[in-house]
């Protein structure tokens, strides 16, 4: 089942499977989101919960017991209930059940809200803890945007413009985990020129990030701006030659190599106190057309 939102600037389609955004179009119907071509990757904009990235041996140690959980968690493969929908707004919900407790032995409610405001699509994920104990979670957004965008300019003319300079080094990945080695940032001040060979060794991962906003596109042409207040980590990923770039704001990331501690002590985990709600937000805004 899907929900369609639209206004004069954007049209968005959301699936109940994973509460995933599966289409995003501008005012002329030009596609901004990857189409899920299985020749490269079937995802479009999955939600990462209750983990981001991989766990060591795909297992979480919780209260002395080992629980299996695959990369990026189970929300992206779960069926959400559509609890509210209108022309420019929808809310979908996932609750803990016997299947989720086999991987994550906590009660929770995950409400995913999408809202159009002018040329902006707002994502709001709200995790409620109904338990009498804190629950540990991570959350991530994973939108795959067209590369190149449909506004002209060569693939290699695209760039990421960060909100501020990003001098911190990047993590090297080792079998999907955060390795002990790092590499110098490819960001030149606040700009990252995009090219396929940046991703020869997998995703670019920032665990130290100054910016909470990035602009994506070709300088001088229409572009997209992603804002992610409160999300301290970032991943950029594609498969070389594929027609998408994933810009992924995260709270949390993969296990570091050698991490053997309990899930609650995993780097990037946040604890939600009993009876409280933790929000995770992002929005994608399209430039208004110029005359």
Interatomic CA distance for residues 7 and 21, integer angstroms: 16
Pairing of strands 159-162, 170-174: unpaired
95 and 117 Cβ atoms separated by less than 8 Å: no
Interatomic CA distance for residues 255 and 100, integer angstroms: 20
Percent share of the chain, pLDDT over 70: 99
pLDDT exceeds cutoff 70 at 175: yes
Nearest Cα residue to 50 out of 206, 284, 237, 278: 278
pLDDT in tens, 80-134: 999 999 999 999 999 999 999 999 999 999 999 999 999 999 999 999 999 999 9
pLDDT in tens, 35-57: 999 999 999 999 999 999 999 99
Nearest Cα residue to 147 out of 23, 243, 225: 243
pLDDT exceeds cutoff 70 at 289: no
25: helix, strand or coil: strand
Contacts of 242 (CB under 8 A, 6+ apart): 40, 41, 147
- How is 27-57 classified by DSSP, letter by letter? TT--B-B----TTT---SS-EEBS-SSPPGG
Residue 288 pLDDT grade (very low, low, confident, very high; cuts 50, 70, 90): confident
Interatomic CA distance for residues 77 and 57, integer angstroms: 20
CATH number of the domain at 2-286, out of 3.30.2350.10, 1.10.150.120, 2.70.98.10, 2.60.200.30? 2.70.98.10
Average pLDDT across the chain, whole number: 96
pLDDT in tens, 214-271: 999 999 999 999 999 999 999 999 998 899 999 999 999 999 999 999 999 999 999 9
Nearest Cα residue to 150 out of 216, 99, 84, 234: 216
pLDDT exceeds cutoff 50 at 168: yes
Q: 188: which DSSP letter?
A: B
Contacts of 214 (CB under 8 A, 6+ apart): 160, 161, 162, 163, 225, 226, 234, 247
156: helix, strand or coil: helix
Cis peptide bond prior to 148, omega within 30° of 0? yes
Residue 182 pLDDT grade (very low, low, confident, very high; cuts 50, 70, 90): confident
Report phi then psi at 61, rounded to 5.
-95, 110
The dihedral sign for the CA sequence 196, 197, 199, 202 = positive
76: helix, strand or coil: helix
170 and 185 Cβ atoms separated by less than 8 Å: yes
């Amino acid at each position: 089942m899907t929900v369609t939102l639209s206004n004069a600037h954007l049209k968005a389609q959301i699936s109940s499977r994973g509460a995933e955004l599966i289409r995003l179009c501008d005012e002329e119907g030009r596609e901004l989101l990857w189409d899920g071509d299985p020749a490269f990757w079937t995802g479009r904009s999955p939600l990462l919960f209750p983990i981001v990235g991989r766990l060591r041996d795909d297992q979480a140690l919780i209260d002395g017991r080992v629980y299996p959980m695959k990369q990026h968690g189970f929300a992206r493969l779960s069926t959400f209930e559509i609890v509210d929908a209108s022309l420019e707004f929808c809310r979908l919900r996932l609750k803990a059940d016997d299947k989720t407790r086999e991987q994550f032995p906590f009660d929770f409610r995950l409400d995913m809200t999408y809202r159009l405001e002018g040329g902006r699509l707002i994502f709001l994920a709200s995790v409620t803890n109904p338990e009498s104990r804190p629950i540990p979670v991570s959350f991530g957004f994973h939108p795959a945007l067209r590369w190149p965008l449909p506004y002209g300019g060569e693939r290699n003319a695209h760039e990421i413009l960060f909100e501020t300079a990003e001098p911190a080094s990047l993590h090297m990945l080792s079998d999907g985990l955060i390795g002990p080695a790092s590499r110098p940032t490819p960001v030149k001040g606040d700009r990252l020129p995009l090219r396929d060979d940046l991703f020869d060794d997998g995703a670019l991962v920032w665990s130290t990030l100054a910016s909470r906003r990035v602009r994506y596109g070709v300088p001088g042409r229409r572009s997209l701006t992603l804002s992610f207040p409160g999300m301290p980590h970032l991943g950029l990923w594609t498969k070389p030659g594929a027609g998408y770039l994933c810009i992924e704001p995260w709270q949390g990331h993969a296990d570091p190599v050698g991490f053997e501690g309990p899930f609650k002590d995993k780097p990037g985990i946040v604890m939600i106190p009993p009876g409280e709600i933790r929000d995770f937000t992002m929005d994608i805004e399209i430039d208004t057309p110029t005359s």
